[in-house]
C-alpha cells in the first residue's frame, strides 16, 4: 500500500505545508483514493502521479474547512477534464449538503459524472470495492469526526498442494476455482473455491485519523492494523498554553496510545503552523514533536512532509520511496 502526503498543516497552510489531504493506492496502481481534501489539494496533485480520472473514492473525516474546502475545485477540475466514471464520497453529515450547494449554485450544475455519497457516520457504514474495504470509527473533536481503516483485498490464488491432495486434474478446473467458481469432479465430489484458495499475501491495513483529542479511542483498531496516520497538532507544553478547547492531540498522547496497542508503524501529521521545519526558524520546530513522541513509542515513527511518499510493503515493512 502506497500513501503520499498532499498536505500536513493544521488549520491553515504554510510556505512548506498545505492543509490536510492524503493519497493512497495499492502499490503502484494508478487507481487511488483520497482521504480529506483541504483547500489547494488539486494543485498539490499536479506534483504527483495521480489524476482525477483515476480517483476511485474520497473519504472526508469531518466538516472543518482544512479537511474539505478543496472538494469543489477537485470535482470541477475532474468535470472539465472529461471524467465520466462515478465518484464515491464517504463523509459524515454536512459534506453532501456542502457539495450539492456548490453544484447547484455554480456551473457545476452540468456535472458530467455521477457522485454517490455514503454517510460514514451511519452505524453500518462500509465501503468496499475490488481493492479495499473501509470502515470508520468515531473520534473526539468539536464536530463529528471519524477515522478510516483501509484494508486491502489481496489477490486470491489457488493452493497447488491442496488441489493435488484432492486429486483435482491440472487444467481448466484449476482456472474455474481460481475464478471463484465451484467444480464437480467425475467421482461426484464437489470442490468449493474456499476449500483451495487463500490470499496471495497477508492483507495490509492503514488507519487514517481525522482530528481527535482521544487517540485511545483507536487502540482496538490499532491492535489489528499495521500503520496509523494521526494528527499531532501540539506538544504537551504548547497544549498547556493554548488550552484543550481546540480538541487536538499532542505527540505524546498519540505515541502513548500507539505503544499501548502494540502498533508497529506510526506517522504523525497535521502540525500547528508554529512548528517550523528548522530549529533555527523559530521558537518551535517539528523535531520537538518527534522527540516528544519518541519518548513514548518505540516502533517506527515518521513525521509527515508534503509530497513524502511511503509504501507499506507486503512483508509489513515501511519504505520511503520516490512516487
Active site residues: 66
Q: How many angstroms separate the CA atoms of 70 and 302, rounded?
A: 26
Phi-psi region of 270 (alpha: psi -120 to 50; beta: other; left: phi over 0): left
Residues contacting residue 154 through CB under 8 Å, at least 6 positions apart: 199, 200, 201, 202, 203
DSSP-derived pairing of the beta strands 183-184 and 227-231 = unpaired
Of the candidates 258, 128, 142, 151, which has an alpha carbon nearest to the alpha carbon of residue 210? 142
Q: How many angstroms separate the CA atoms of 196 and 202, rounded?
A: 16
Helix axes 71-80, 95-105, angle to 10 degrees: 50
Q: How many angstroms separate the CA atoms of 32 and 24, rounded?
A: 6
Residues contacting residue 216 through CB under 8 Å, at least 6 positions apart: 257, 260
DSSP-derived pairing of the beta strands 300-303 and 87-91 = unpaired
In the chain, what is the straight-line distance between the N-terminal and C-terminal CA atoms, in Å? 12
Q: How many angstroms separate the CA atoms of 262 and 278, rounded?
A: 31
DSSP-derived pairing of the beta strands 284-285 and 227-231 = unpaired
Helix (H, G, I), strand (E, B) or coil at 202: coil
Give the cell for residue 311.
Answer: 509504501
**DSSP annotation of 170:** S
Q: How many angstroms separate the CA atoms of 114 and 103, rounded?
A: 12
Contact 233, 270 (CB under 8 A): yes
Amino acid at each position: 500500500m502506497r500513501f503520499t502526503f498532499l498536505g500536513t498543516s493544521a488549520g491553515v497552510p504554510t510556505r512548506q505545508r498545505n492543509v490536510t489531504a492524503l493519497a493512497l493506492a495499492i502499490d503502484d496502481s494508478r487507481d487511488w483514493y483520497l482521504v480529506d481534501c483541504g483547500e489547494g489539494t488539486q494543485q498539490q496533485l499536479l506534483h504527483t502521479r495521480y489524476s482525477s480520472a483515476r480517483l476511485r473514492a474520497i473519504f472526508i473525516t469531518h466538516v472543518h474547512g482544512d479537511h474539505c474546502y478543496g472538494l469543489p475545485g477537485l470535482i470541477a477540475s475532474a468535470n472539465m477534464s472529461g471524467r465520466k466514471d462515478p465518484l464515491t464520497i464517504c463523509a459524515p453529515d454536512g459534506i453532501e449538503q456542502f457539495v450539492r450547494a456548490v453544484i447547484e449554485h455554480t456551473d457545476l450544475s452540468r456535472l458530467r459524472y455521477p457522485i454517490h455519497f455514503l454517510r460514514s457516520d451511519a452505524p453500518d457504514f462500509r465501503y468496499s470495492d475490488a481493492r479495499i474495504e473501509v470502515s470508520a470509527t468515531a473520534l473526539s473533536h468539536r464536530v463529528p469526526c471519524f477515522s478510516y481503516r483501509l484494508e486491502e483485498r489481496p489477490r486470491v490464488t489457488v493452493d497447488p498442494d491442496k488441489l493435488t491432495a484432492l486429486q483435482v486434474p491440472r487444467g481448466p478446473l484449476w482456472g474455474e476455482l481460481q475464478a471463484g467458481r465451484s467444480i464437480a469432479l467425475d467421482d461426484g465430489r464437489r470442490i468449493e473455491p474456499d476449500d483451495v484458495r487463500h490470499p496471495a499475501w497477508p492483507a495490509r491495513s492503514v488507519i487514517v485519523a481525522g482530528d481527535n483529542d482521544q487517540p485511545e479511542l483507536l487502540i482496538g483498531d490499532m491492535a489489528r492494523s499495521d500503520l496509523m496516520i494521526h494528527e499531532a497538532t501540539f506538544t504537551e507544553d504548547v497544549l498547556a498554553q493554548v488550552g484543550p478547547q481546540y480538541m487536538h492531540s499532542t505527540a505524546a498522547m498519540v505515541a502513548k496510545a500507539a505503544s499501548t496497542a502494540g502498533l508497529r508503524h506510526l506517522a504523525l501529521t497535521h502540525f500547528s503552523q508554529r512548528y517550523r521545519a528548522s530549529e533555527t526558524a523559530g521558537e518551535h520546530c517539528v523535531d520537538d514533536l518527534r522527540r516528544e513522541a519518541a519518548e513514548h513509542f518505540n516502533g517506527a515513527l515518521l513525521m509527515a512532509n508534503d509530497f513524502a511518499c511511503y509504501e507499506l510493503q507486503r512483508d509489513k515493512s515501511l519504505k520511503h520511496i520516490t512516487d
